[in-house]
């Protein structure tokens, strides 16, 4: 088998001493011993050395390198008449790309980020006889294509589905934020994660003054992703937001809008509680959105959706929703403020 060639890292030309030694080795022992072909050479006759003379190899290499450099220089010279791109050409190319390629909306990208952290929250227990409970029940049944007064699904013996809301995972160990009114008085709570996993949950903390509850799921997905929370210190009216949740149990659903105002107050229709320092927004929210995240266009949680303003008993969205700022919500879970 032939051995691969080995290329030395030493210089290609031999040092002068080596050249002289090579000359002495090539020279004949005496002028008389020098021959040309088969005949002898008379003494004193100049002898032409066979083979390559010292220095010719370096000279040839220098010629090859010089030719390569000249050729490269010629190739790098811009061709006469070549068009140079201008900023106008670049702008036109970008505009053409935007016109021919459909880009996802900011709300769609934000929803993709937060969706793995959003959970469906269902509370079970004795059926409430309040107007809100009846409206939620009718809405859930109609969304499922059932008669408005059909019995609830998923409840155990002697149980009824009292309410459906939304929650958002803030710690990857299964810590979930939601509204207190979604789970208050429940005998059993069940959460459904993004991948479809259903798990029982327990209440580990409450903050009644902000209508907040903290849940701990008993089982969690292997790749649970918690939401990223964002301070509302620089939030301004007109900033784009989106509400993600399960209105009437459908979802996760996404609605987009803007921040309508800050530091708002809201009193529940029953007049039992007044909430303050709320974010007002106009992204559509309905019963079932309660406890879900209000997010910015980076998919970061700004607040927890908690109420909608309704001058009538229909409990449908008229364009004014409220969310508890995430600073207050995170403190309910023991997280330090921003």
Bridge partner list, 168: 118, 177
Distance of CA 302 to the CA centre of its chain: 18
331 noted as active-site residue: no
Catalytic residue among 253, 255, 260, 290: 290
Strand bridging mode 39-40 / 35-36:
antiparallel
Note whether 182 and 290 are within 8 A (CB): yes
181 noted as active-site residue: yes
290 noted as active-site residue: yes
**Cα distance between residue 247 and residue 253, in whole Å:** 7
Note whether 331 and 207 are within 8 A (CB): yes
**Cα distance between residue 325 and residue 336, in whole Å:** 14
Catalytic residue among 117, 181, 260, 282: 181
**Cα distance between residue 270 and residue 252, in whole Å:** 28
Catalytic residue among 211, 253, 260, 282: 211
**Cα distance between residue 176 and residue 213, in whole Å:** 8
> Which conformational region is residue 125 in: left (phi greater than 0), alpha (psi within -120 to 50 degrees), or beta?
left
CB neighbour list of residue 156: distance below 8 Å, 6 or more residues apart: 124, 188
Q: Which residues are catalytic?
A: 181, 211, 290
């Amino acid at each position: 088998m032939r051995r691969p060639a080995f290329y030395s890292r030493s210089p290609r030309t031999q040092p002068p001493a080596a050249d002289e030694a090579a000359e002495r080795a090539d020279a004949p022992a005496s002028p008389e011993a020098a021959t040309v072909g088969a005949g002898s050479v008379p003494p004193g006759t100049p002898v032409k050395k066979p083979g390559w003379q010292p220095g010719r190899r370096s000279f040839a290499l220098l010629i090859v390198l010089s030719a390569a450099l000249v050729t490269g220089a010629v190739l790098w010279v811009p061709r006469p008449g070549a068009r140079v791109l201008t900023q106008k050409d670049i702008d036109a190319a970008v505009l053409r790309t935007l016109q021919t390629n459909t880009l996802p909306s900011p709300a769609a990208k934000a929803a993709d980020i937060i969706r793995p952290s959003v959970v469906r929250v269902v509370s079970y227990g004795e059926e409430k006889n309040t107007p809100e409970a009846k409206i939620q029940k009718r809405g859930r049944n109609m969304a499922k294509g059932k008669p408005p007064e059909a019995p609830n699904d998923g409840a155990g013996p002697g149980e009824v589905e009292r309410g459906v809301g939304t929650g958002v995972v803030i710690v990857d160990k299964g810590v979930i934020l939601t509204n207190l009114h979604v789970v208050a008085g429940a005998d059993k709570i069940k959460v459904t994660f993004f991948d479809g996993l259903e798990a029982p949950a327990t209440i580990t903390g409450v903050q009644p003054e902000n209508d907040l509850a903290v849940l701990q799921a008993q089982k969690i997905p292997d790749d649970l992703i918690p939401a990223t929370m964002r301070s509302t210190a620089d939030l301004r009216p007109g900033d784009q937001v989106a509400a993600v949740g399960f209105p009437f149990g459908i979802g996760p659903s996404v609605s987009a809008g803007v921040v309508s105002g800050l530091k708002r107050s809201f009193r529940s229709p029953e007049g039992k509680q007044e909430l303050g320092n709320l974010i007002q927004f106009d992204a559509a929210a309905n019963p079932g959105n309660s406890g879900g995240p209000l997010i910015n266009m980076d998919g970061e949680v700004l607040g927890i959706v908690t109420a909608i303003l309704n001058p009538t008993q229909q409990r449908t969205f008229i364009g004014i929703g409220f969310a508890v700022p995430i600073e207050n919500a995170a403190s309910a879970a023991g997280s330090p403020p921003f």
